[in-house]
Amino acid sequence: MRVRKMLTAVGFGLLAMVLMGTGPAARAQEGPAYLRALSDLRTARDYIQFDHRPEFGGERHHAVEEINKAISEIKHAAWDDGKNTQFAPPSQGVADGFAPMHEAIRWLDAARNHVMSGPDQPANQGLRERAMIHIDEAHHAIEMIVRTVQQQ
């Protein structure tokens, strides 16, 4: 009889947690996908660094600096959201070196989408917006390289 009461109480407790969405998985899905964005930014950086054309060294360096700044802002936002950035997926690496700048743009776009997904936490105090500024600046620098190459 006691066992049945205890199992019933545990069952109702679990049911209440599921219905109220208070489990850790429910809280983790609420905000932006910062950990995915970190992986995307690292992959974009890998593609930019894969390109070794000397005439674009300044633009590449500027884009990498902006990506590093965005990574820093996103890490702080993730920490404020209670996420451990050590569990971010790793960089995807350079899979296709044929058009590294086009791939970098694609990964920057993916990072932008992940950062903008879901509502931001008010405690982040503009971290997401500053990260977006850095991502957009890196995107602009890489677009300049692509346009220059297309005009040649």
Residues 71 and 19 in one domain: no
Residues 82 and 53 in one domain: yes
In total, how many domains does the chain have? 2
Residue range(s) defining the domain that contains residue 2? 1-30
Residues 49 and 89 in one domain: yes
For every residue of the chain, which 3-state class applies, written as one string?
CHHHHHHHHHHHHHHHHHHHCCCHHHHHCCCCCHHHHHHHHHHHHHHHHHCCCHHHHHHHHHHHHHHHHHHHHHHHHHHHCCCCHHHCCCCCCCCCCCCHHHHHHHHHHHHHHHHHCCCCCHHHCCHHHHHHHHHHHHHHHHHHHHHHHHHC
pLDDT of residue 5 exceeding 70: no
Residues 80 and 113 in one domain: yes
pLDDT at 95: 75
Residues 135 and 85 in one domain: yes
pLDDT in tens, 90-138: 888 777 667 899 999 999 999 999 999 878 777 777 888 999 999 999 9
CATH of the domain at 77: 1.20.1260
Q: Give the pLDDT band of residue 22 (cuts 50, 70, 90).
A: very low
pLDDT in tens, 65-88: 999 999 999 999 888 888 888 878
